[in-house]
């Protein structure tokens, strides 16, 4: 016997992609633009910090994180958003944001809402952990289309009251993966106001927040503070993976009101896996430094400009506001991915693999996602091949 709630899960994006492409021979030297794994250099001094604190491998790390790491996180939140959070009661370090995004639903969402089965809202396309978190607590995942018609962000305010009355949480990613859309302060105000009206929590996945062009994206916590909302209304998630090119360090954090964090910490006491102390010390140093973040962001701005130059004349092309993905319109996403691989040696992800059917339509199927994470020259070559293969002039 196995849990029925997981019995009908579709295959995950990566095995689906391998099944789609690996039966064919690539049409040139492989250029990988599928996974969002940053390839820019991380700060060279990270290894020095780990070595300096290597004796910490001899000790169990504290579940809530070392004081140095908690304070570095609190300082980042205040520096970035102007929000003062208590390092002891309002933040907790994570082993990557996926852990926190999953466990937040486990720790914070009740078994029923207004006498009904709970609902958890999420964008569609979406980061797959949102759906699994909802299913794990036997809630209904409500996938709200995030399309060009809605500026690539979900319109939660358009949902029916009967859905909102049983909603316990809403996941939202800004800047958005995969589209690169950014929630404005007005968008956050509308969503947080809706959450206050219907008494649900906002789970703000902001892991791409430090990769942008122009002004820094507004943050959910700062808007909630400006509104005077309940401090436990919004839960934010960040990591060093994209900000600092350190996906392997697995340093993320969750911040919210003290009641939320107490519940999340209690669950983690039983089921958590904190970072080893030397890695926590390295993470604290990285969270405290902004120089490398500014340099990293400048590299992505150069790639945005390359994409605009090479793809700007493509009908339906939307220049990304933030993040490091291109969300490119195609007639058929799987056919386009196969063609790119077979003719050009470029591997991209069909957009439909990041979404689910909504009223019989998968809102990702008319797109491919291409990650601009490789060095500048490789990224430019990949975009050139995409243009010449899929959008010939």
CB-side neighbour CA atoms (13 Å) of 255: 28
pLDDT tens-digit profile of 124-146? 999 999 999 999 999 999 999 99
Q: How far apart are CA 129 and CA 13, in angstroms?
A: 12
Cα angle, residue 328 at apex, residues 376 and 344 outer, rounded to 5° = 60
pLDDT tier at 56 (50, 70, 90 boundaries)? very high
pLDDT digits (tens, 9 = 90+) for 245-268: 999 999 999 999 999 999 999 999
pTM (2 d.p.)? 0.97
Burial of 262 (0-12, 13-18, 19+ CB in 10 A): middle
Q: How confident is the model at residue 7 (pLDDT cuts 50, 70, 90)?
A: confident
Tell how strand 167-173 and strand 119-124 pair up. Answer: parallel
Distance CA 26, CA 46 (A): 37
Q: State the pLDDT confidence band at 10, using cuts at 50, 70 and 90.
A: confident
Distance in angstroms (rounded) separating the CA atoms of residues 230 and 138: 26
């Amino acid at each position: 016997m196995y849990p029925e709630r997981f019995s009908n899960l579709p295959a995950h994006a990566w095995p689906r992609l391998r099944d789609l492409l690996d039966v064919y021979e690539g049409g040139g030297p492989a250029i990988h633009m599928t996974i969002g794994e940053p390839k820019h250099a991380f700060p060279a001094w990270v290894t020095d910090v780990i070595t300096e604190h290597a004796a910490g491998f001899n000790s169990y790390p504290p579940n809530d994180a070392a004081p140095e790491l908690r304070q570095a996180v609190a300082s980042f939140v205040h520096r970035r958003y102007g929000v003062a959070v208590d390092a002891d009661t309002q933040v907790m370090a994570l082993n990557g944001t996926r852990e926190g995004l999953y466990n937040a639903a486990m720790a914070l969402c009740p078994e029923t809402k207004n006498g009904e089965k709970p609902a958890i809202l999420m964008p569609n396309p979406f980061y797959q952990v949102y759906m699994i978190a909802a299913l794990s607590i036997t809630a209904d995942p409500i996938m709200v289309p995030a399309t060009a018609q809605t500026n690539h962000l979900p319109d939660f305010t358009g949902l029916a009251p009967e859905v909102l009355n049983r909603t316990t949480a809403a996941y939202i990613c800004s800047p958005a993966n995969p589209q690169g859309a950014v929630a404005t302060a007005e968008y956050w105000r509308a969503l947080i106001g809706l959450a206050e009206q219907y008494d649900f929590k906002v789970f703000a996945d902001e892991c791409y927040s430090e990769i942008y062009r122009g002004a820094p994206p507004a943050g959910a916590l700062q808007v909630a503070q400006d509104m005077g909302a309940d401090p436990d209304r919004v839960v934010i998630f960040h990591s060093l993976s994209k900000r600092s090119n350190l996906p392997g360090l697995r340093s993320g954090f969750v911040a919210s009101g003290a009641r939320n964090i107490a519940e999340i910490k209690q669950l983690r006491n039983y089921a958590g896996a904190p970072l080893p102390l030397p890695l926590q010390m390295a993470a604290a140093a990285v969270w405290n430094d902004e120089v490398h973040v500014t340099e990293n962001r400048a590299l992505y701005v150069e790639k945005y400009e390359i994409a605009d130059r090479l793809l700007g004349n493509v009908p339906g092309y939307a220049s990304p506001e933030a993040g490091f993905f291109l969300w490119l319109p195609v007639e058929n996403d799987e056919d386009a991915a196969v063609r790119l691989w077979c003719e050009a040696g470029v591997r991209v992800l069909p957009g439909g693999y990041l979404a689910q059917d909504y009223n019989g339509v998968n809102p990702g199927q008319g797109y491919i996602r291409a990650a601009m994470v490789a060095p500048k020259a490789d990224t430019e070559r990949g975009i050139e091949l995409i243009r010449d293969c899929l959008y010939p002039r």
